[in-house]
Amino acid sequence: MASVPAVLTSEWTKIRTVSSTTWTLISAFLVTVAMGAALCAVMNAQFGDLDEAERLTFDPTFISFSGMILGQLAMVVFGVLVVGTEYSSGMIRTSLAAVPQRATFLFSKMLVAGVLALVVGLITSFVTFFLGQALLGDHGTDIGADNVLRAVVGGGLYMGLIAVFSMGVAAMLRSSMLSLGILMPFFFLVSQILSAVPGAKKVAQYFPDQAGSKIMQVVPDAMNSDPAPYGPWAGLLIMLAWVAAAVIGGFLVLKKRDA
């Protein structure tokens, strides 16, 4: 069987030698931090205008992660491209000829890219948190406060998992364009809209992004949002189940289909 460290090294070389890695990950960082900072500054200026319920459930940690809604899209692009370009370039045939063991190939790729996304996610999460709190001024919180560290680490986990989920979807669909065409509108529009529509809410709260993002809330039902029937860790587990399903689905497609 193929040597796993060798395949990991190879996948790392693949990732670091294409420019899409750099620009997607830098975008994820910049967009999340910039949008989070902007919202924190706005909140700080307009805190007095919030209604009573919003003020009572004000979650300075969650507010500083507002940028994730856009930033996660860059993570989706990163995840999709890591797997999808193998297919669009035809490299997949060369890659599988070199590493014919499908599990070793796919899981090594996902591990390398997933760890990278996690590291970038954690950096993004901590930077956006501290910058956000500084801009929130008196309304901010402290990393030492209850559950705050969990939420900040959770933000990094969330970004890493979004990337791995996207890799699984791209492996199932075997196309970057198709994967992006489905995932981008889903995370940016469908999930956001459905979670605001009464009735659809009940389903939408089990979507990977809706469930997973609960880990970033410190105050339950932050900003007067609808209460979820699960806690932050259970929410992350729901997201993890989605990720596992996508990864297994991607593996089965790779195993069964002709390259």
Planar angle of CA 174, 252, 3, nearest 5 degrees: 95
Residue 10 touching other proteins (CB under 8 A)? yes
Q: Which is nearer to other proteins, 57 or 104 (CB)?
A: 104
Interacting residue with other proteins among 3, 45, 196, 248 (CB under 8 A)? 3
Handedness of CA 127, 186, 181, 11 (dihedral sign): positive
> Is 89 near other proteins (CB under 8 A)?
yes
Provide the token pair at 175: 């196309």
- Of 88 and 231, the one with the shorter C-beta distance to other proteins is 88
Give least dist CB 256 to other proteins, A.
Answer: 8
Minimum Å gap between C-beta 236 and other proteins is: 33
What's the Cα-to-Cα distance from 165 to each of 58, 111, 250, rounded to whole Å? 30, 12, 10
Cβ closer to other proteins: 19 or 46? 19
The separation between CA 128 and the C-alpha centre of its own chain, rounded to angstroms, equals 15
How many chain residues touch other proteins (CB under 8 A)?
32
Q: How many angstroms separate the first and last alpha carbons of the chain?
A: 20
Nearer to other proteins, 179 or 195 (CB): 179
CA distance 223 to 58: 5
Stretch that binds other proteins, among 13-21, 138-146, 172-180, 232-240 (CB under 8 A): 13-21
| Cα gap 107→180, rounded to integer Å | 21
> Does residue number 22 form part of the binding site for other proteins (CB under 8 A)?
no
In terms of CB distance, is 20 or 27 closer to other proteins? 20
Instruction: Please pick, from the candidates 42, 53, 93, 181, the single residue that binds other proteins as defined by CB under 8 A.
Output: 93
Q: Which of 193, 159, 195, 209 has the alpha carbon at shortest distance from 32?
A: 159
The span from the CA of 238 to the CA of 207, in Å, is 8
CB-based contact 106:5 (threshold 8 Å): no
Q: Is 177 in the site for other proteins (CB under 8 A)?
A: no
| Per-residue x/- track, 94-123, other proteins (CB under 8 A) | xxxxxxxx----------------------
Minimum CB distance to other proteins, residue 81 (Å): 10
- Token pair 């997201």 is found at 239
Give the shortest CB-213-to-other proteins separation in angstroms.
Answer: 32
| Minimum CB–partner distance for residue 55 and other proteins (Å) | 49
Write the secondary structure of 153-176 as one string of H (helix), E (strand) and C (coil): HHHHHHHHHHHHHHHHHHHHHCCH
Backbone φ and ψ of 217, nearest 5°: -90, 135
Nearest to other proteins of 97, 144 (CB atom): 97
Can you give the binding site for other proteins, defined by CB under 8 A? Answer: 1-3, 6-7, 9-11, 13-14, 17-20, 85-86, 89-101, 256, 258-259
